[in-house]
Amino acid sequence: MTLSITEIFFSLQGESRTIGIPTVFIRLAGCPLRCNYCDTRFAYEQGEETPIASILERVAQFQPRYVTVTGGEPLAQDNSLTLMKFLCDAGYNTSLETGGMLDISPVDPRVARVIDLKTPGSGESESNCYDNIEQLRPNDQIKLVICNEDDYIWAREQLGKWQLAERCEVLFSPCHDRQDATELAEWILRDRLPVRFQLQLHKQLWGDERGK
């Protein structure tokens, strides 16, 4: 049983509730979306076919407590479900970064699912699978990348429409180089939104995709 892997690396978690924690990232190759702000386009292409047993061996070499399965879009490869189960069985705190267009219900319940609800500014909002909202658990997170004020207004509407904050933690993140971070923070405070504001730590430290 194999998966197409772009890279496996050790870094600080750059976003979500475990931001700043040393984490092993398993980046799967391939993604059906083409978000216009994507910073991991190199993961669009086919990666290296790697047995799951070899992936687990490489992860173990880092002796991590936390592991994140990311992409690309991990759920586009069916065997990612098996990988996440094995990671949980091995005792790792495991999280999944998914673009939110594919069904999250088959994911092992021990996995913290971070679902990117695509805003209009991403160019992929029509791909959102809103059925996933009914699957959310308190350990999950919904992330919205805000590209401009129209995105913010849309995100604020989704927050109320789906009662997102009552389901799980909600993250608002300014799109790098497109939305001023301070402005977004002030909008959130003005409107008293029950969300967590976040910046991408890895871009502040290294200016690249490490930690995502």
Check residue 59 and give its pLDDT.
97
Q: Where are the domains of the chain?
A: 2-205
CA distances from 1 to 81, 105, 133, 157 (A): 12, 21, 30, 42
| pLDDT surpasses 60 at 211 | no
CA distances from 180 to 11, 30, 60, 148, 200 (A): 26, 30, 39, 8, 13
Specify whether the CB–CB gap between 140 and 110 falls below 8 A.
no
Task: Name the pLDDT band for 210 (thresholds 50, 70, 90).
Answer: low
Check residue 202 and give its pLDDT.
67
**Residue in 45, 52, 53 with CA at minimum distance from that of residue 72:** 45
Tokens of 196: 């967590």
Check residue 124 and give its pLDDT.
82
At residue 69's C-alpha, the angle toward residues 36 and 184, to 5°, is 45
| pLDDT surpasses 90 at 212 | no
**pLDDT tens string 115-156:** 999 999 998 888 999 999 999 999 999 999 999 999 999 999
CATH topology of domain 2-205: TIM Barrel (3.20.20)
Q: What is the mean pLDDT of residues 16-36?
A: 89
**pLDDT tens string 46-87:** 789 999 999 999 999 999 999 999 998 999 999 999 999 999
Q: What is the mean pLDDT of residues 5-28?
A: 93
Check residue 205 and give its pLDDT.
75
Q: Which residues contact 42 (CB under 8 A, 6 or more apart)?
A: 6
Q: What is the mean pLDDT of residues 3-20?
A: 92
Check residue 115 and give its pLDDT.
96
| pLDDT surpasses 80 at 8 | yes
**pLDDT tens string 157-201:** 999 999 999 999 999 999 988 899 999 999 999 999 999 999 978
At residue 204's C-alpha, the angle toward residues 211 and 152, to 5°, is 90
Task: Name the pLDDT band for 39 (thresholds 50, 70, 90).
Answer: confident
Q: What is the mean pLDDT of the chain?
A: 92
Segment (H or E) for 80? helix 80-89
* Cα 149 from chain centroid (whole Å): 22
